[in-house]
C-alpha cells in the first residue's frame, strides 16, 4: 500500500462525531475524527472506527497517513 507521506504523526485525540438526536444510518460505518500532530503542524482526518481497531491504533500512537486516507500504525 503506497504511503502518502513519510512524515510520522502522533495521534493526539480520537473522537466519535456527535449525531445529536439522529442515529447513525444502519449501513453506515462509525467514523472517528483523529487529531494528528506532526513536525510543525496539526491536522484532522476521518477514519472508520473498525479500521482503527483492526490496526490497533490508539491515542498516543505514531502513525503514517496512507494514500487512501487511512492510517497505519508505526512500530
| Count of C-beta atoms within a 10 Å radius of residue 9 | 23
- The whole model's pTM is what? 0.78
Q: List, for residues 15-69, the tens digit of each pLDDT value.
A: 976 665 666 667 777 889 999 999 889 999 989 999 999 999 999 999 998 888 8
The H or E element that residue 3 is part of is none
The pLDDT value given to residue 70 = 86
Amino acid at each position: 500500500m503506497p504511503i502518502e507521506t513519510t512524515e510520522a504523526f502522533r495521534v493526539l485525540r480520537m473522537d466519535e462525531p456527535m449525531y445529536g438526536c439522529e442515529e447513525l444510518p444502519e449501513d453506515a460505518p462509525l467514523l472517528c475524527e483523529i487529531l494528528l500532530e506532526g513536525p510543525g503542524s496539526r491536522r484532522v482526518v476521518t477514519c472508520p472506527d473498525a479500521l482503527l481497531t483492526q490496526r490497533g491504533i490508539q491515542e498516543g500512537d505514531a502513525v503514517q497517513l496512507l494514500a487512501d486516507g487511512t492510517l497505519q500504525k508505526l512500530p
